[in-house]
Amino acid sequence: MQSVIVENIIKNYRTKKETVEALKGISFSVDKGEIFGLIGPDGAGKTSIFRILTTLLLADSGAATVDGFDVVKDYKKIRNRVGYMPGRFSLYQDLSVQENLEFFAAIFNTTIRENYNLIKDIYQQIEPFKTRKAGQLSGGMKQKLALSCALIHKPSVLFLDEPTTGVDAVSRKEFWEMLHRLKMEGITILVSTPYMDEASLCDRVALMQKGVIMTINTPAGIISGFKKPIWAMRSSEMYRLMNAVKEDETVESCFPFGQYQHIVFKNPGNDEQRLQEIARKGNFTQVEIQSIRPNIEDCFMALMQQ
Amino acid sequence: MENDKVITAHELTKKFGHFIAVDHISFDVHKGEIFGFLGANGAGKTTAMRMLCGLSLPSSGKASVAGFDVYKQNEQIKKNIGYMSQKFSLYEDLTIGENIDFYAGIYGLSNKQIKEKKNDLLNRLKISGQEKTLVRDLPLGWKQKLAFSIAIIHNPAIVFLDEPTGGVDPITRREFWSLIYEASAGGITAFVTTHYMDEAEYCNRVSVMVDGRIEALDTPANLMKNFSTDSMNGVFLQLARKALRSE
């Protein structure tokens, strides 16, 4: 069964001067119990999709359902059964941690006790500060409280808009472990992120840019869609190496990835010899060349250039 | 090469009441170096950076930035550094040209210098003729490239970059790093914080802060070797997991 169905959604934002095309005809669906990722930079349209699906914004055209309910006609039913954590902290800053949680539980006609098992792992970490005002919490604690409030009514679909932006690598890892535990409870999760490496933690992802979905697939499927051989190369002088590789006319793309340059040729064949030739001509030292598997970011950049 | 050092910090400490935000950190940064300053949220990075920028007085310890003492010469420090963060950089309701004039003016450049620098900057970013465009109307990636170029318009000894690449697409993120490399090749030191671990590997040296202390400082290659892992992400996870405090 499909928890979310989006069909050809278009959304424009108009000001006096100009029209911004936020979503240019987007379609996708999310299976029940799936973790589905919207991956893309700022301006891709991720937040507009979240706001349309949580019935906070009307699309210009197209249709969408959540849990079988129409986002326009059945908006009240949707609001009762989804959880939404917006990118910007949206809880009551002048209520305490516990008051916020009680408030959201009351709105959804439930109690903290009823679904405590669902939020226990997360809420326990902020419970020592339960009398503190939400506005005085640190970023990481705000994030945990917001997730607890979004979960308190045991939603069937959870919408998380960039929950890990600006969060350090350790906290990001913990957050994803938590999402996988929620998936085990049967909750469908739609999550957006600008971090490409988090794509591999989703069941399926949509790679988005400027209001368009470039591709939808499993992380493995996206990687196997990268057809050309890709090479990693390094030397003692990385910036000079990058410029030397880019100057070669047979090179299609060269992007730095940590200690390596990832290189793709326009017409593959004898790639390794060509790279050795570049290294020899430029007198590069400590050269290392190897054939690699592309990662999601390689795929994203290749799609961007099409 | 003592005079090659652009930043020196010795036992630098900042306490807020009983809380030791920065706990006796010592390190040097060299001219033209790209220095990565990593740490989990709440490890003390922002507090340390504020002391180095002359915005917050240390509780104890010594530090000099661009040859100036952080206790006594913080006004000179502000004139000799550049600063850019994702959160605040340019004035959205001023044009590109007005932002350049404003910052260059603040840094005390003469009208003649401003004109020269402005032309040079617009040419280098390939946006000549767009001087009258409001910054608000620029795509995020362009804003960040422009903000960086303006942050070094007065040719500072060092530029502080606080999570400069958040939210931008992966190609723009790499173009941004090319600008950092160019600046570094021109002798400007870059002091960078980031949550992207692949970006940590672009740095000449990287420090990792845990609970207010610098727990590791070395080249990315040596750190990966010492922690028996093939990525900075692996190094970071091993170190930051030891943290007892969060934000």
- For residue A168, the model assigns a pLDDT of 80
Residues of chain A with CATH 3.40.50.300: 2-218
Under 8 Å CB pairs connecting chains A and B tally to 95
Token pair, residue A173, equals: 């890892």
- Are A169 and B139 a contacting pair at CB < 8 A? no
Give B95's DSSP letter.
B
Beta strands B158-162 and B81-85 are parallel
| Residue B201 CB neighbour total at 10 angstroms | 24
Contacts of residue B220 in chain A, CB cutoff 8 Å? 258-259
Mutate to test the interface with A, among B205, B238, B247 (most CBs of A within 10 A): B247
Sheet hosting strand A19-31, strand order edge to edge: A19-31, A2-14, A61-66, A69-70
Q: What is the pLDDT of residues A38-86, one digit of tens each?
A: 999 988 999 999 999 999 999 999 999 999 999 999 999 999 999 999 9
ipTM comes to 0.84
With H, G, I as helix, E, B as strand and everything else as coil, classify residue B108. coil
For residues A71 and B169, give the distance between their C-alpha atoms in angstroms, rounded to a whole number.
30
- For residue B3, the model assigns a pLDDT of 64
Among A207, A182, A148, A161, CA closest to A35: A182
Residue showing tokens 């050309």: A228
Give B3's DSSP letter.
G
With H, G, I as helix, E, B as strand and everything else as coil, classify residue B172. helix
Q: Does the pLDDT at position A161 exceed 50?
A: yes
- Model's pTM, two decimal places? 0.88
> How does the average pLDDT of chain A come out, rounded?
94
Contacts of residue B140 in chain A, CB cutoff 8 Å? 41-43
What residue of B is the nearest CA neighbor of A39?
Answer: B169
Confidence of residue A140 (pLDDT cuts 50, 70, 90): confident
Check: CATH 2.60.40 for A230-304?
no
> What are the residue ranges spanned by the domains of chain B?
90-155
Contact with chain B for residue A195, Cβ under 8 A: yes
Dihedrals φ, ψ of A269, to 5°? 135, 130
What residue of A is the nearest CA neighbor of B198?
Answer: A258
- For residue B87, the model assigns a pLDDT of 72
Q: What is the pLDDT of residues B131-141, one digit of tens each?
A: 999 999 888 88
Contacts of residue B176 in chain A, CB cutoff 8 Å? none
Q: Does the pLDDT at position B1 exceed 60?
A: no
Residues of chain A with CATH 3.30.70: 230-304
Which CATH number does A2-218 carry?
Answer: 3.40.50.300
| Residue pair A164/A193 in contact by the 8 Å Cβ criterion | yes
- Are A171 and B41 a contacting pair at CB < 8 A? yes
Token pair, residue B12, equals: 């630098």
Token pair, residue A208, equals: 């988005």
Q: Which residues of B touch A (CB under 8 A)?
A: 39-42, 139-141, 163, 166-172, 174, 177-178, 181, 185, 195-198, 200-202, 220-221, 231-233, 236-237, 240-241, 243, 246-247
Contacts of residue A305 in chain B, CB cutoff 8 Å? 171
Confidence of residue A200 (pLDDT cuts 50, 70, 90): very high
Contact with chain B for residue A282, Cβ under 8 A: no
Among A149, A84, A139, A160, CA closest to A118: A149
Contacts of residue A126 in chain B, CB cutoff 8 Å? none
Q: Does the pLDDT at position A139 exceed 90?
A: no
Three state DSSP letters for chain A: CEEEEEEEEEEEEECCCCEEEEEEEEEEEEECCCEEEEECCCCCCHHHHHHHHCCCCCCCEEEEEECCEECCCCHHHHHHHEEEECCCCCCCCCCEHHHHHHHHHHHCCCCCCCCHHHHHHHHCCCHHHCCCEHHHCCHHHHHHHHHHHHHCCCCCEEEECCCCCCCCHHHHHHHHHHHHHHHHCCCEEEEEECCHHHHHHCCEEEEEECCEEEEEECHHHHHHCCCCCEEEEECCCHHHHHHHHHHCCCEEEEEEECCEEEEEECCCCCHHHHHHHHHHHCCCCCCEEEEECCCHHHHHHHHHCC
Q: Does the pLDDT at position B247 exceed 70?
A: no
Q: What is the pLDDT of residues B67-97, one digit of tens each?
A: 999 999 999 999 999 999 877 679 999 999 9
Where does residue A18 rank: exposed (0-12), middle (13-18), buried (19+ CB within 10 A)?
A: exposed
